[in-house]
Amino acid sequence: MIEALFFLAAAVFPVGQGQPLLMTFPEESGVKSMQLWLETKKIPFAHVQGKWETIVGIDLDAKPGEHPAEVAVTFGDGRMEKRPVTIRVEIVKFPTTTLRVEDKYVELSPANQRRAAREAKELDAIYDKWTPEILWAQAFRSPIPGQTRGSNFGHRRVFNGQPRAPHAGADLKASTGTPIHAANRGRVVLAKNLFFTGNTVILDHGLGIYTIYAHLSRIDVKVSGIAEEERIIGLAGATGRVTGPHLHWSARIQGSRVDPFGLLSIE
Ligand SMILES: [Zn+2]
């Protein structure tokens, strides 16, 4: 009964919009696997050091309030038990900037629109695939050692009265040529030039967690290789749709847009 009581006591998980949520449950005899069923998502848990663990991504536009979910526990004998949990999403105030600019700065040519749409599909296909195991090796670290925070995450921009997609990453100060490190161990799933984000590297850390490094002047990794934690994956730059050199660093967790710096507080 102690385990059941623990479950009840831990049943409400508070988390801010655009933040990762670490969920852990103690080991139980006979349990083969666990998943969190949250809306249409079935998020895998990994079995690590005597506990079950996952990191759940809460999108920056997630509806504030209580989201009922279930932990589906599968036992070795095939039995499945569903245990209710609640994720309580708390409002985070993101800044909004409204500006008027000449249309030519916000409108893309038909060729660029087609390219951007094709690449958006390619990215969605990557984020939709969740490696069911942990590939990371240590706590997440900033890709630029010493910079422990970025700016602009969640920033909403309205150009000429039209709302744009919110800024889904964090911007880090960097001059061209600044070494960019893998935030953690992961598999390289994309390493190429994209229309918006220029030279881009995406790492798969497992359990549906991806980190993205954009506007690089140089890429130093190849697709399908493993980037060990802290290895240099490229150099900062100003490629893609930018006005100057910086690192745009973002995270997708089970498809949700999450502040990558939120990962740094997870051990
Ligand atoms: Zn940015």
pLDDT value at residue 2: 45
What whole-number distance in Å separates Cα of residue 87 and Cα of residue 65?
A: 8
Q: Is the pLDDT of residue 102 over 70?
A: yes
Q: Where are the alpha helices (DSSP H) in the chain?
A: 2-9, 110-127
- Output the CA 242–ligand 1 centroid distance in Å: 8
Q: Quick one: CA torsion of 152, 101, 116, 155, rounded to 10 degrees?
A: 20
Q: Is the pLDDT of residue 267 over 60?
A: yes
Calculate what percentage of the chain has a pLDDT beyond 90.
85
- Output the CA 213–ligand 1 centroid distance in Å: 10
Q: How confident is the model at residue 7 (pLDDT cuts 50, 70, 90)?
A: low
- Output the CA 246–ligand 1 centroid distance in Å: 8
CA-based nearest residue to 206, from 29, 47, 32, 12: 47
- Output the CA 247–ligand 1 centroid distance in Å: 7
- Output the CA 55–ligand 1 centroid distance in Å: 24
- Output the CA 81–ligand 1 centroid distance in Å: 43
Question: CATH says 96-265 is which class?
Answer: mainly beta
Domain coordinates of the chain in residue numbers?
Answer: 2-90, 96-265
User: Which of the given ranges, 6-10, 108-112, 197-201, has the highest pLDDT on average?
Assistant: 197-201
pLDDT value at residue 44: 97
Cα-based distances in Å from 227 to 131, 224, 244: 16, 9, 27
Calculate what percentage of the chain has a pLDDT beyond 70.
95
Structure tokens at 150: 């970025």
pLDDT value at residue 10: 53
Residues, beta carbon < 5 Å, ion ligand 1: 171, 248
Q: Is the pLDDT of residue 231 over 90?
A: yes
Q: What share of the chain is helix, strand, coil (3-state, %, to 5)?
A: 15, 45, 40
Q: Is the pLDDT of residue 9 over 60?
A: no
Q: Is the pLDDT of residue 47 over 90?
A: yes
Q: The domain at 2-90 falls in which architecture? A: Sandwich (2.60)
- Look at the block and give the residue holding tokens 């997870």: 266
